[in-house]
């Protein structure tokens, strides 16, 4: 029986020509393929922006049918200790490439999770086996990689994908899966995913599990996000001094969308940041306080008390 793959895998680009966005990065990677040569690489940027897809596509274009023999993928967050560098990585790097190729590729996903000892061991391995192996390291935070590793690599910085690229690719999937997705649903998918292509595809697949006619309403409930207008209304009620009505709106949002406290605070932050009704000083004061409440939640403070406290602060800020 065939196993249905998640859409993030089913529609993953297989070659550099199929990748979306990041045109300058793709052109540079294609140049490596044409010259059949490349340095060690670091792919840095937020999740879901194409770092892993680019690594796999680059290796497939380079090695063709011999991809599996010349490419090793490891997730550094699972295998992050020095023993992995001394055993699996060193053993693979020391063996000559299969076929008529100058080098093999080791892809270390989430390499910023490697321990400092492992990174120091990796630095020496990269140096010693450059003749037979190249490394590609993906990291959400390249600053967590030690300086000697960064200096040995060409760094590619991936940005959140623009709205057009996300909508175009989701439209391609919707056509292939015979889905009817309305225009506002696409806007909701972009808003909920925040430039993360993988997240937007997951939201689309989850929405499609319930209906073939995907609307804005379906997307927001699936993604556990409130509509921007609903959050904007919540903030305006609090700033106008109407604490009880703001609190009722908050209760309705928490009940309807099953949002967590951090998700509510993130959406309030986005609403305040984008507001053109607040003067700059007021906006700065509110964002500073939102950061404080977010920190409290991450430290384990009671979610409901902190959300009510944020509303109370907005009421007081409005009265000033």
Rounded-to-integer distance, Cα 135 and Cα 114, Å:
14
Q: What is the pLDDT of residue 76?
A: 61
Q: What is the pLDDT of residue 84?
A: 67
Q: What is the pLDDT of residue 1?
A: 36
> What's the 3-state SS for 235-303?
HHHHHCCCHHHHHHHHHHHHHHHCCCHHHHHHHHHHHHHHCCCCCHHHHHHHHHHHHHHHHHHHCCCCH
Instruction: Specify the CATH number of the domain 163-223.
Output: 1.10.8.60
CATH topology of domain 228-319: Zinc Finger, Delta Prime; domain 3 (1.20.272)
Q: Across the chain, what does the average pLDDT equal?
A: 88
Rounded-to-integer distance, Cα 108 and Cα 41, Å:
10
**Which helix (H) or strand (E) covers residue 41, if one does?**
strand 40-44
Instruction: Specify the CATH number of the domain 7-157.
Output: 3.40.50.300
Residue spans of the domains in the chain: they are 7-157, 163-223, 228-319
pLDDT tens-digit series, residues 4-42? 778 888 888 888 988 888 889 999 999 999 998 899 999
Q: What is the pLDDT of residue 284?
A: 92
Q: What is the pLDDT of residue 7?
A: 87
In the three-class reduction of DSSP (H, G, I as helix; E, B as strand; rest coil), residue 304 is classed as: helix
Contact 45, 5 (CB under 8 A): no
Q: Edge-to-edge, what's the strand order for the sheet holding 40-44?
A: 71-75, 104-109, 133-139, 40-44, 153-157
Low-confidence ranges of the chain (pLDDT < 70): 1-3, 76-85
Burial 263-293 (b: 16+ CB within 10 A, else e): bbbbbbbebbeebeebeeebbeebeebbeeb
Contact 129, 103 (CB under 8 A): no
Q: What is the pLDDT of residue 60?
A: 93
Q: What is the pLDDT of residue 184?
A: 92
């Amino acid at each position: 029986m065939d196993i249905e793959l998640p859409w993030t895998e089913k529609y993953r680009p297989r070659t550099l020509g199929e990748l979306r966005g990041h045109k300058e990065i793709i052109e540079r990677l294609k140049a490596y393929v044409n010259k059949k040569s490349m340095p060690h690489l670091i792919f840095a940027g937020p999740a879901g922006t194409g770092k892993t897809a680019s690594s796999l596509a680059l290796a497939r274009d380079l090695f063709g049918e011999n991809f599996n023999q010349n490419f090793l993928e490891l997730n550094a967050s699972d295998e992050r200790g020095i023993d992995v560098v001394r055993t699996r990585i060193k053993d693979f790097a020391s063996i000559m490439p299969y076929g008529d190729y100058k080098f093999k590729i080791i892809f270390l996903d989430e390499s910023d999770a490697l321990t400092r000892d492992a990174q120091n061991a990796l630095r020496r391995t990269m140096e010693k086996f450059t003749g037979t192996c190249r490394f590609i390291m993906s990291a959400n935070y390249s600053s967590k990689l030690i300086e000697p590793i960064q200096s040995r690599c060409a760094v590619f910085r991936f940005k959140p994908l623009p709205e057009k690229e996300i909508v175009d690719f989701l439209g391609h999937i919707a056509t292939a899966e015979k889905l009817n997705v309305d225009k506002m649903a696409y806007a909701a998918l972009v808003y909920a995913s925040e430039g993360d292509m993988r997240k937007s595809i997951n939201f689309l697949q989850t929405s499609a599990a319930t209906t073939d006619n995907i609307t804005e309403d379906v997307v927001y409930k699936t993604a556990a996000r409130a509509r921007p207008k609903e959050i904007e209304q919540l903030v305006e009620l609090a700033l106008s001094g109407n604490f009880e009505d703001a609190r009722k709106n908050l209760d309705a949002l928490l009940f309807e969308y099953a949002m967590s406290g951090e998700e509510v605070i993130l959406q309030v932050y986005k609403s305040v940041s984008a507001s053109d009704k607040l003067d700059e000083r007021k906006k700065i004061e509110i964002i500073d306080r939102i950061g404080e409440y977010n920190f409290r939640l991450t430290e384990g403070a009671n979610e409901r008390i902190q959300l009510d406290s944020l509303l109370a602060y907005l009421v007081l800020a409005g009265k000033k």
